[in-house]
Amino acid sequence: MKLKAVEFRYYINDGLPDPRMAPVDLLMREYRSLYHHAAHKKTVMYGDTTGALNLRKEMVQFLSGTRGLNIDMNNILVTHGAQMAIFIAAQLLLQPGDTVIVGEPSYYMADLIFQQSGARLIKVPVDENGIDVDAIEKICRKKKPALLYIIPHHHHPTTVTLGADRRMKLLELIRTYKFAVIEDDYDYDFHYSGSPILPLASARHSGNVIYIGSLTKTMAASIRLGYMIAPENFINEAARFRRIIDLRGDNLLEEAIAVLFKQGDMQRHLKKSVKLYHERRDRFCHLLEKEMGNVLTFQKPSGGLALWARFHKKYPLPTMATRAAAHGLFMSDGSVYSTGAVNHNGLRIGFASLNEKEQDTIVGILKKLV
């Protein structure tokens, strides 16, 4: 998307947390305390490539309790965001010419990673019940793919969740054909309608599922922390590869976040955030239906930080984005989501980072555009 240089006053992001909610003061307090504590002088200069010891301990406990993962510290690698984890996994799993199954539409940054690795993408439709598992089975019967990339929980960009029947069938396919899976669960903790479905990685999968998540969505976009969960031998290989591009993360920051987990601050922050984002989702969806119902369509998401809005054909997003820029509003032109045979004319609208006034202002600008 190329726009002339303008000063944007408002932004439509694709699903970011509200940085005003982040427990930054608590985090900086622990960071300073650790920095000046004699026992952590070595942490400032050195650290484990797999991540700070105490953060990995706390993450194992947190992920086991919230996601039903049967793991220990040898199964986790802390990364600079989930994007790095996807990149490392792809580099270890793929060879030029390999096939990767992705959704249509899919998370475009992951698609770029796979293509950069020399892989060929096979796109499978995504509907209101998630990715088409029957289509995946047909592909496997012809030739086993090298990798399946899937976002079963709050799929990006459409926000749909993989149905229970499809989930069970997909697990059976994984066990039968033994193909590798990257399960991207970037915003699992934000669920508003009923109980969240446990990840594929929590079920029996013979070590074929690599689970990737993010702490960035819990904190703020600028706090880049992700993680990879995989068998110990794969984590060892991933750590060795990570050293090529990044010797280690900010171990002191990781230790500070570990303290917040241990003291329950992160859990309390997450509970508070879920409550607020739930309220913002409901208000924003009502506002959008009332003011823009004749311009776009969407389904209220069961969780996550954004909704997937598809504009009617007579409102092409490239034109809308250009007009929005003139009003000081940045919005996607939808091109990153229309990389296949379908022009979705859609974009993700992040609601979690918008307070009531910001919601009203952005919807007001969108109304002016049409």
Of residues 360 and 204, the one with the higher pLDDT is: 360
- The chain-wide mean pLDDT, for the chain, equals 92
Identify the bridge partners of residue 122 per DSSP, sorted by sequence position.
101
Task: State how beta strands 76-79 and 226-229 pair.
Answer: antiparallel
| Residue 342, pLDDT score | 81
Mean pLDDT of the region 259-267 = 95
Angle between helices 356-369 and 317-326 (to 10 degrees): 120
Place 41 in a pLDDT band, splitting at 50, 70 and 90.
low
The pLDDT value given to residue 43: 57
Task: Give me the residues paired with residue 329 across strands.
Answer: 10
The pLDDT value recorded for residue 222 is 83
Cβ contact 13:353 at 8 Å: yes
The string of pLDDT tens digits covering residues 323-349 is 999 999 999 999 998 876 788 999 999
Q: How many CB atoms lie within 10 A of CB 104?
A: 19
Q: What does pTM read for this prediction? A: 0.93
Q: pLDDT class for 45, splitting at 50, 70, 90?
A: low
**pLDDT tops 70 at residue 6:** no
CB 350 within 8 A of CB 306: yes
Domains in the chain, please, with CATH? 10-16+267-369 (3.90.1150.10), 24-263 (3.40.640.10)
CA–CA distances in Å: residue 150 to residues 142, 184, 299? 20, 6, 20
Side-by-side strand order, sheet with 306-311: 296-297, 306-311, 346-350
Whether the pLDDT of residue 44 is over 80: the answer is no
User: At residue 47, does pLDDT exceed 80?
Assistant: no
Q: What confidence score (pLDDT) does residue 249 get?
A: 75
With 70 as the cut, is the pLDDT of residue 257 above it?
Answer: yes
Percent of the chain with pLDDT over 90: 81
Indicate if the alpha-carbon torsion angle 150, 156, 158, 161 is positive or negative.
positive
| pLDDT given for residue 194 in this prediction | 74
| Between 335 and 40, the higher pLDDT residue | 335
Q: What is the pLDDT of residues 158-184, one digit of tens each?
A: 999 999 999 999 999 999 999 999 999
Inform me whether the pLDDT recorded for 196 exceeds 80: no
d(CA 329, CA 4): 13
Does residue 1 register a pLDDT over 90? no
Over 70: is that where the pLDDT of 300 sits?
yes
Q: Is the pLDDT of residue 46 over 90?
A: no
The confidence band for 36, taking pLDDT boundaries of 50, 70 and 90, is confident
Looking at the chain, the number of H-run helices and the number of E-run strands are 12, 13
